[in-house]
Amino acid sequence: MYEYIIEEQMETLINKLKNNQMSNEESNNFVNDYELEDEFSHDTIREIQYNFTEQAKEYLKENHPSKYVIFQDWCVHICTVEFAKKNLKSSRYKVC
């Protein structure tokens, strides 16, 4: 039903990583809820975000261990560990 969104977002993440396009100065955002609100309910959007988070976490752990953190709220945020330590006061993120 929404697997194509997760696949597209994973492809974007992988390409950004391969091409060194992940920002070190801010959060890299994926699966923004406002981009999906016209098509899906908020419960479904949260489910999409959760499933993307799980896949992205696995990919990052396998291919870029301990370099990025991930957390979700209105979108899925992926940041460098250094950025998170300097700028994120919350401990709700997970190191990948």
Per-residue pLDDT reduced to its tens digit, 32-44: 999 999 999 999 9
Question: What was the pLDDT predicted at 90?
Answer: 66
The answer to whether 80 and 56 are in contact (CB under 8 A) is no
DSSP secondary structure of 59-87: HHHHHSTTTEEEEESSSEEEEEHHHHHHH
**pTM exceeding the 0.75 threshold for the entire prediction:** yes
Residue 40 φ then ψ, to 5°: -130, 155
Least confidently predicted of 27-36, 54-63, 66-75, 84-93: 84-93
In this model, does residue 9 exceed pLDDT 80? yes
Q: Closest Cα partner for 80 from 6, 22, 21?
A: 22
Question: What was the pLDDT predicted at 88?
Answer: 82
> What is the domain range of residue 11?
3-95
Helix axes 42-63, 3-18, angle to 10 degrees: 30
> What total number of domains does the chain contain?
1
